[in-house]
Amino acid sequence: MVKKTLLLSSGGLIFLIGMITFPMPVPIGLPLMIIGMTIMLRTSPTARKKFIKLARRNPHTHKVWRRARSYRKRQ
């Protein structure tokens, strides 16, 4: 339980730092946001369900995620 809470809070913190640094000229914000989101989605089933629901609601986003998943499976 403690491990899950720590992972979820650290993922959220990394995502928040990524959002803050996203507009900066150094391209560090987007990778931080992706890492934070990955940690949160792997830790919380509720977050994963909400993310999938949001992705399906937006067809373009859903298409990008499907392409990224297929790329990951090929490697």
14 contacts 34 by C-beta, under 8 angstroms: no
Q: In the structure, what pLDDT confidence band is assigned to residue 9 with cuts at 50, 70 and 90?
A: very high
What mean pLDDT comes out for the span 12-28? 91
When mean pLDDT is compared across 6-10, 18-22, 48-52, the lowest value belongs to: 48-52
C-alpha span between 75 and 43 (Å, rounded): 24
This prediction's pTM: 0.72
- Give me the chain's average pLDDT, please: 85
pLDDT at 21: 92
Q: In the structure, what pLDDT confidence band is assigned to residue 56 with cuts at 50, 70 and 90?
A: confident
